[in-house]
Amino acid sequence: MNIVNTSIINVSNIEIQIDRKDIKNLHVGVYPPYGRVRVASPLHIDDEAVRLAIISRLSWIKKQKKSFEEQPRQSKREMVSGESHYFLGKRYLLNVIHGNSKYKIIQNHSKLELYVRDNTSVENKQKVLNKWYRQELKKEVSKLIPKCEKLINVKIESYEIKKMRTKWGSCNIENKKILLNLELAKKPIECIEYIIIHELVHLLERHHNENFKNLMDKFNPNWRERRDELNSGILEY
């Protein structure tokens, strides 16, 4: 659903982003990685009413923000041999191999071998790794989506993998298109499947209400554990 307008207010030294939409109910969310607070508000509710709603939820918001702030974060990636990287929930050690061969990644037991030329920048090494993550995630997603579509009895038109800062996935209901966060390549298959099911269920229920939760219970009984696993994992630097 399209955002009509966006505004910012401050409540108890917390910046609140208000996105007004043509919706019936007000929704408050606190998002990783740093606890950004966002309110999806019906068009007729003014800033003062939103402020009162935030105040009533202030202890919950502060608890969520504290949880994100205390969540472990990996150190800044230097893309050097011996550095830890994750793929499908498993830890790998990076092995950087310099030479004249084509830029590529080879998965070799517990190592990811990164082939680059001399003097390749950290940024370009990361691009090679991200390209490999995207290719590998597409392989997994291309197998999971048909399986999940059959389970739920829905069909999407397309999907896209992209870097997202605050969401693991999203669903454009009108276009029947889902977006998946590239970071999912680092997570266990069960977590990737959970996100796909979550987004597909939105084709049956737009909102995160009791009906949505009941559908998730039906199609992915352990979804709460998968959600907690995703939200408690190590964040990027």
The answer to whether residues 63 and 103 belong to one domain is no
Residue that is written with structure tokens 């298959």 in the block: 189
The answer to whether residues 96 and 156 belong to one domain is yes
Residue-wise pLDDT for 26-62, tens only, equals 999 888 767 889 999 999 898 899 999 999 999 999 9
The answer to whether residues 30 and 91 belong to one domain is no
91 located within any domain = yes
Q: Which one of 44, 70, 96 terminates a domain?
A: 70
Structure tokens of 44? 């007729």
The answer to whether residues 97 and 186 belong to one domain is yes
Tally of structural domains, the chain: 2
Q: How far apart are CA 184 and CA 133, in angstroms?
A: 9
pLDDT at 235 over 60: no
Q: Which domain holds residue 58?
A: 3-70
Phi, psi at 200, each rounded to 5°: -65, -35
Q: How far apart are CA 90 and CA 75, in angstroms?
A: 18
Under the banding of pLDDT at 50, 70 and 90, the label for residue 228 is confident
pTM of the model: 0.74
The answer to whether residues 172 and 93 belong to one domain is yes
The answer to whether residues 137 and 61 belong to one domain is no
pLDDT at 237 over 60: no
76 located within any domain = no
Q: How far apart are CA 89 and CA 145, in angstroms?
A: 19
The answer to whether residues 185 and 105 belong to one domain is yes
Q: How far apart are CA 75 and CA 237, in angstroms?
A: 6
51 located within any domain = yes
Structure tokens of 159? 């999907």
Q: How many CB atoms lie within 10 A of CB 89?
A: 14
